[in-house]
């Protein structure tokens, strides 16, 4: 979902550094061959994730929701020399597709893919993360936040995608719309949590940026 008029989006696209040739092919082939390609972060959000990663130079990044591996490659660009990105997805059908693109990048050796349900894998991770990107099922946003906040270093950052949920967060909600209710509950929860500072960026479908207080 894009909230900006198409010509403004096109202008922002034109004045954002281009994707690498590899990311461009991954983006195109995801749209050509994979279900629900709207889930892929895309050009501007991908460059944003890369820029944030370069600003932090993280040693450990956690991504929840790999899909075809586009955002993993973007986030991995800014990793410190000996850094590692762990990315989790439960869809085994996408693993080979994602890996086939990672293998074409020198960043491949820094990407650790873990197949399974995120809520099961997160408690098993013995790492301290500098940067976390939450981009999986919206119903579990709050669960993922609870499971990773103690694994995030003080001063570390969490980015959460789709927090504007195509604008549904300001519309009247059916009691059965559990995804929208979950996004609303998550936004309220982190806004009220004294352990974090938050900025809701209206980029694409909305990105919540959180910084864990020292
Ligand atoms: C929006 S896509 C991720 C897009 C990717 N981050 C990108 O920007 O290119 C969400 C992904 O989360 C995965 N997912 C959904 N629920 C999950 C769960 N409970 N555990 C692990 N992965 C899950 C889906 O299989 C899907 O590939």
Q: Compute, in angstroms, the gap from residue 82 CA to the centroid of ligand 1.
A: 26
**Number of residues that make up the chain:** 214
Look at residue 137 and give its three-state secondary structure: coil
Assess whether the C-beta atom of 90 lies below 6 angstroms from ligand 1.
yes
Q: What is the ipTM of this complex?
A: 0.99
pLDDT tens digits, one per residue of 21-35 = 999 999 999 999 999
Q: What's the chain's average pLDDT?
A: 96
Q: pTM (2 decimals)?
A: 0.97
Q: Which of 66, 111, 115, 139 to mutate to test the pocket of ligand 1 (most atoms within 8 A of CB)?
A: 66
Q: Assign domain 6-212 to its CATH superfamily.
A: Vaccinia Virus protein VP39 (3.40.50.150)
pLDDT given for residue 190 in this prediction: 98
Q: Which of 136, 162, 205, 206 to mutate to test the pocket of ligand 1 (most atoms within 8 A of CB)?
A: 136
Ordered by start, the domain boundaries in the chain are 6-212
pLDDT given for residue 3 in this prediction: 82
pLDDT above 80: residue 2: no
Assess whether the C-beta atom of 87 lies below 6 angstroms from ligand 1.
no
pLDDT tens digits, one per residue of 144-172 = 999 999 999 999 999 999 999 999 999 99
Burial of 38 from C-beta contacts in 10 A (0-12 / 13-18 / 19+): exposed
pLDDT tens digits, one per residue of 94-141 = 999 999 999 999 999 999 999 999 999 999 999 999 999 999 999 999
> How far is Cα 62 from Cα 88, in angstroms, rounded to an integer?
8
pLDDT given for residue 1 in this prediction: 62
């Amino acid at each position: 979902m894009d909230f900006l008029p198409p010509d403004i989006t096109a202008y922002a696209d034109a004045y954002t550094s281009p994707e690498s040739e590899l990311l461009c092919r991954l983006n195109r082939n995801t749209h050509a061959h994979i279900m629900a390609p709207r889930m892929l972060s895309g050009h501007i959000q991908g460059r944003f994730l890369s820029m944030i990663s370069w600003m932090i130079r993280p040693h450990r990044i956690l991504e929840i929701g790999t899909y075809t591996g586009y955002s993993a490659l973007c986030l991995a660009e800014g990793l410190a020399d000996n850094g590692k990105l762990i990315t989790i997805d439960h869809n085994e059908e996408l693993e080979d597709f994602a890996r086939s693109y990672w293998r074409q990048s020198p960043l491949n050796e820094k990407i650790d893919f873990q197949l399974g349900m995120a809520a099961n894998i997160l408690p098993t991770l013995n790492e301290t993360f500098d940067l976390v990107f939450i981009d999986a099922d919206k119903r579990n946003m709050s669960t993922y936040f609870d499971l990773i906040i103690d694994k995030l270093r003080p001063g570390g950052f969490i980015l959460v995608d789709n927090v504007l949920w195509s604008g549904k967060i300001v519309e009247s909600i059916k009691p059965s719309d559990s995804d929208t209710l979950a996004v609303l509950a998550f936004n309220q929860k982190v806004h009220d949590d004294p352990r974090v500072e938050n900025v809701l960026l209206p980029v694409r479908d909305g990105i919540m940026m959180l910084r864990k207080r020292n």
